[in-house]
Amino acid sequence: MGRSPSFQDLRRAADALGLGLDDEELSSLHPLITGLTASLDNLDAMAPPAPEVRYARRPGRRPPPEDNPLGAWYWQSRVPGAPSGPLAGKQVVLKDNIALAGVPMMNGCAALTGYVPEFDATVATRILDAGGEIVGKAVCENLCLSAGSHTAATGPVRNPHDPTRTTGGSSSGCGALVAAGDCDLAIGGDQGGSIRVPAALCGIYGLKPTFGLVPYTGAFPLDMSVDHLGPMGRSVQDVATLLEAIAGPDGYDPRQAGVAVRPYAAGLDQPVSGLRIGLLEEGFGHPGGDPEVDASVRAAAEILAGLRAAVVRVSVPLHRESGGITMGILSRGATSIMLEGGGTGTGWKGWYPTSMGDAFWRGWRASPHTLPPTAQVVALVGRYLADTYGNHYYSTAQNLAPSLTAAYDRALSDVDVLVMPTTTTTAPPLPPQGASVVESLLASFASTANTPTFDVTGHPAMSVPCGWVEGLPVGMMLVGRRGEDDVVLRVAHAFEQSGAFVPGAV
């Protein structure tokens, strides 16, 4: 690191940038540039250590196929936490874009094969401080760029309710392991629905918290403005307890400006009588959606009405137009962080996981052809937009995000939560072996029309299992005011306690 560039290094850089410098001009600049880069030579020796790792652990193992029938485990390990605490007795898995010191991390991507972080993500430390036991890493989709469960370099993740079907993604392994009972809880990540989609398709509870409520430190990002981590579990009580353990500023993550933590578990039993539930008209009736899914969610809202909540219709026309905003942010932002920023990005104050960024940078530069079709398409779109328009469309999308946020805020000034289907269908079949690139891409983004917009706006959004269609679970999405994750959890708990949803056998 810090090696001064040769003349040929500068020649290649100048040509790539189209600077038009001839060899004589470049030779005159070479000594100056060598002096400038020499100032970097001591940075590595001066770098502060990674945050302290406080809990002992063994490396564990990647389970063989016979012990991993759903393909959902990336790595099994045991990291016991504090002897007591609110998570005592709970076994928790981490999505494999979250660092756990001494345990391999792949982020679903061959480019990170062999990488072992030397630090714990903040959420991992907080789980252990609360008495939980981390029992391994769950497979996630390749670079977290799929809402299906077929893109990970380790192979597809299968739905516990029907192994021929997807679990949804990108927190695919988390959804499968929690639903199958192989762990109690999971931490997933969400930039376009990646907690809520697998929660819906696997029949569990999954909360994308208010933006910034849970620190992202130590997790592989996609774009700083839409990155979320959040809890997944088989009960609202467990999800709320885990949220309490991991929420709050950590002093490293700039996403967390101004966040405030509430007592999430203690308020679950407050009645929902008097709350106003808004059925979002634009959240139903999507092209290609399943009318039976819509009907299940409407019926679930009527259960809440029976608990003396007022159910009303709400319209947010911009909801159906939000796709361009999310695409403008994710296509350019993901390309910048993943392929240009080496997995860490630039321009933010906090702690940078340099070993993770270095490992990814080396890996993908050595074998870019191993990127999956989803990552290739995102990279192509992002590179094309950057080369042709600079940051125009990313900037325009970010400039539109406040208007999108305000549209939902206006609706939520009249109601306490919005309701709509999490996914527009139940779990689709996994694409067949040998599927075309187009088939793989279509399967990666099916039925996610309702989820990405709330990553952009930062509103808390939770998938709640509410029914069954032909033996497959249906998810109802509850969306609350920013900072009111407690209200979302309270409504979810009231529905759960009504007994209207009967969990199916796995």
Please tell me whether the peptide bond between 171 and the residue prior to it is cis, using omega within 30 degrees of 0: no
498 is catalytic: no
Q: Read off the tokens for 201.
A: 């398709």
Q: Please, which residues have CB within 8 angstroms of residue 357's CB and are 6 or more apart in sequence? A: 341, 342, 343, 344
Alpha helix locations (H) across 4-96? 7-17, 23-38, 43-46
Q: How many residues does the chain have?
A: 506
Amino acid 47 reads A
- 3-state DSSP helix/strand/coil % of the chain, to nearest 5: 40, 15, 45
Question: How would you classify the pairing of strands 461-469 and 205-208?
Answer: antiparallel
Query: Whose structure tokens read 């939770």?
Result: 462
Distance separating alpha carbons of residues 67 and 374, to the nearest angstrom: 29
Do the Cβ atoms of 316 and 282 come closer than 8 Å? yes
Distance separating alpha carbons of residues 239 and 296, to the nearest angstrom: 23
Q: Please, which residues have CB within 8 angstroms of residue 315's CB and are 6 or more apart in sequence? A: 280, 281, 282, 411
Distance separating alpha carbons of residues 202 and 472, to the nearest angstrom: 8
Distance separating alpha carbons of residues 81 and 257, to the nearest angstrom: 28
Distance separating alpha carbons of residues 111 and 94, to the nearest angstrom: 20
One of 95, 149, 208, 336 is an active-site residue; which one? 95
Distance separating alpha carbons of residues 383 and 468, to the nearest angstrom: 42
Distance separating alpha carbons of residues 20 and 306, to the nearest angstrom: 73
One of 146, 149, 170, 463 is an active-site residue; which one? 170
CA distances from 138 to 95, 154, 266, 293, 371 (A): 5, 11, 29, 28, 20
Distance separating alpha carbons of residues 324 and 321, to the nearest angstrom: 7
Distance separating alpha carbons of residues 388 and 495, to the nearest angstrom: 49
Do the Cβ atoms of 162 and 240 come closer than 8 Å? no
95 is catalytic: yes
User: Cα-flanking dihedrals φ and ψ of residue 478, to 5°?
Assistant: -105, 130
Do the Cβ atoms of 290 and 425 come closer than 8 Å? yes
What is the secondary structure of 326-393 as a DSSP string?
HHHHHHHHHHIIIIISTTT-SS--S---HHHHHHHHHHHHH-GGGS-HHHHHHHHHHHHHHHHHTTHH
Do the Cβ atoms of 478 and 412 come closer than 8 Å? no
Residue 498 burial (CB count, 10 A): 14
One of 146, 149, 194, 331 is an active-site residue; which one? 194
Q: Which residues are catalytic?
A: 95, 170, 194
